[in-house]
């Protein structure tokens, strides 16, 4: 058995509208989802929190961004920074630069 590999360029076709983000699923298998997220001066809505049932790993590949947490803290991320967001770690996107590019890995629930 030698299934064929797949290839891509992370930034290819990564266009988000001003203030928003665009998600592309690169791989979904065995309960794991690998996503490319393009953000363009994006922020989660005021008062919104991601509260996810499973751990997420995220790498900021390009740009800058701030992740907010419900203790009021904010983590500034620059290209090359990664974060592990455990299940039910409430977080939001506080802000991103114009062309932020993320790789996100959602673990099985």
Place of tokens 């030698």: 2
20 touches its own copies by CB under 8 A: no
CA dist list (Å): 101 to 50, 61, 73: 18, 5, 22
Among 37, 42, 67, 100, binds its own copies (CB under 8 A): 67
Cβ density class 3-28: b for 16+ within 10 Å, e for less: eeeeeeeeeeebebeeeebeeeeeee
107 touches its own copies by CB under 8 A: yes
Q: How far is CA 102 from the centre of its chain?
A: 5
Place of tokens 């992740």: 67
Judged by CB, which is closer to its own copies: 19, or 55? Answer: 55
Give the whole-angstrom CA distance, residue 68 versus residue 15: 23
Interface region with its own copies, contact rule CB under 8 A, candidates 15-23, 38-46, 54-62, 92-100: 54-62
Interface region with its own copies, contact rule CB under 8 A, candidates 15-23, 40-48, 51-59, 92-100: 51-59
Interface region with its own copies, contact rule CB under 8 A, candidates 17-25, 31-39, 40-48, 92-100: 31-39
Among 41, 52, 57, 64, binds its own copies (CB under 8 A): 57
Among 23, 48, 74, 84, binds its own copies (CB under 8 A): 84
């Amino acid at each position: 058995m030698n299934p064929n590999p797949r290839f891509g360029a992370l930034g290819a076709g990564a266009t988000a509208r001003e203030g928003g983000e665009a998600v592309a699923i690169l791989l979904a298998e065995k309960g794991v989802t690998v996503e490319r997220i393009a953000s363009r001066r994006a922020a989660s809505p005021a008062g919104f929190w991601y509260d996810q049932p499973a751990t997420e790993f995220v790498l900021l590949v390009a740009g800058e961004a701030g992740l907010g947490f419900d203790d009021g803290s904010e983590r500034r991320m620059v290209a090359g920074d990664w974060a592990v967001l455990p299940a039910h770690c409430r977080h939001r996107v506080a802000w991103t630069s114009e062309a932020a590019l993320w790789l996100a890995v959602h673990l099985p629930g």
